[in-house]
Structure 1
Amino acid sequence: MDALKQWNLPQPQSDVTLVLLNELVERKLEEKQYKAKSQYYGYAFMLLLVASGSLMVYQLQVTTSVLWEVFSFSKAPFIVILLMLTGFVYYLLRRVTKKLKKAEDELDSLRLEVIDRSEELWKNESQWEKRHDVFSYMKENYDINLFYK
């Protein structure tokens, strides 16, 4: 709640409103973290995929052996390790993507709840008049749109 006191929100705000806005900001930050991780793992996966593919093509051109010998650990350990690493990064990418989707859904559901309950959150006339300022503040500083569903 100390972080909320540093916000330049128009006063007075109810405690419930401040808690919901704080939760919105926390969920938005969580979503941004998962989005950054997803992009990082996506780029790493693409890099590893290109590297392992080009290394396999090179190994096939150099050797005259059958394809299964390229994948043997004794003949080409680097290719096998690179393929295993590619598979692991793909697993991490899928896991983070699922968490990103869940974080987006949670943020959107809370955002819709704030929009639906806006009459309850800003009960008296002075709070209702400052509601637009709060929505603008959240849009400008945290990219959370509370104007429309």
Structure 2
Amino acid sequence: MPIILSDADKFVDEPTRKMLEALIKRKQKFEQFKKHVLRWRIVCFVCFFIFCITLYLKSGQSGSILYYLFSDSTSIFWILAIAFSYSASFFFHKKEDKAENEYHKLRCEIIQKSPDLWPLPQKWETRETVYRIMKESYDINLYFESK
């Protein structure tokens, strides 16, 4: 999604616009990692489900779950697939947490610097317009610091 602040350009100066663009980029990065985590968790769950079904079906024939685990190469494949998908999910979750913290810090910084970014009373009214544009277009809440 390209960064378009043309609606807000008439309400902000260049440094503020750069800060808002950086905030949008960080939000998009955070959302991207969030999608990666969800995908890898789904893959992990599907692999685990398939592994459990094949384990149940194969162990019913031979009578021993341990025999199937160590004798059949497909069980090793599913165990490795589960381990890999879980590891990838964990890796992207750490990246997601880092991206969320960066995004939240910059968002809070913009909220705290609002009196400096829109100093005059007439500019303070344009702040509401910029906040509304950011909320509607990018789902970024600049009204409150809480997540």
* Same fold per superposition (TM over 0.5): yes
Is this contact kept in 2: 1:11–1:127, CA < 8 A?
Answer: no
Query: Secondary structure of 2:119's match?
Result: coil
Q: Does 1:70 align with 2:74?
A: no
Q: Does 1:109 align with 2:105?
A: yes
Query: Secondary structure of 2:140's match?
Result: coil
Query: Could you tell me which residue of structure 2 aligns to residue 138 of structure 1?
Result: 134
Residues 78-105 of structure 1, C-alpha deviations (whole Å, 9 max, x = no match): 1111110110000000011111111111
Query: Could you tell me which residue of structure 2 aligns to residue 32 of structure 1?
Result: 31
Q: Does 1:90 align with 2:86?
A: yes
Identity percentage of aligned residues: 24
Any stretches of 5+ residues in structure 2 without a counterpart?
A: none
Give the structure, 1 or 2, with the largest relative contact order (CA under 8 Å, sep 6 or more): 1
Query: Could you tell me which residue of structure 2 aligns to residue 100 of structure 1?
Result: 96
Q: Distance in 2 between matches of 1:55 and 1:9?
A: 57
Q: Distance in 2 between matches of 1:3 and 1:143?
A: 13
Is this contact kept in 1: 2:27–2:103, CA < 8 A?
Answer: yes
Given residue 56 of structure 2, which amino acid in structure 1 is its aligned partner? V
Q: Distance in 2 between matches of 1:67 and 1:58?
A: 10
Residues 113-143 of structure 1, C-alpha deviations (whole Å, 9 max, x = no match): 0000011111334432211000000000000
Measured after TM superposition, the shift of residue 55 of structure 1 is 1.0
The number of equivalent residue pairs is: 144
- Relative to the length of structure 2, the TM-score reads 0.89
Matches within 5 A, 1:6-21: 7-9=6-8, 11-21=10-20
Any stretches of 5+ residues in structure 1 without a counterpart?
A: none
Q: Output the aligned Cα RMSD.
A: 1.8
Is this contact kept in 2: 1:14–1:122, CA < 8 A?
Answer: no
121-130 or 17-26: which moved more? 121-130
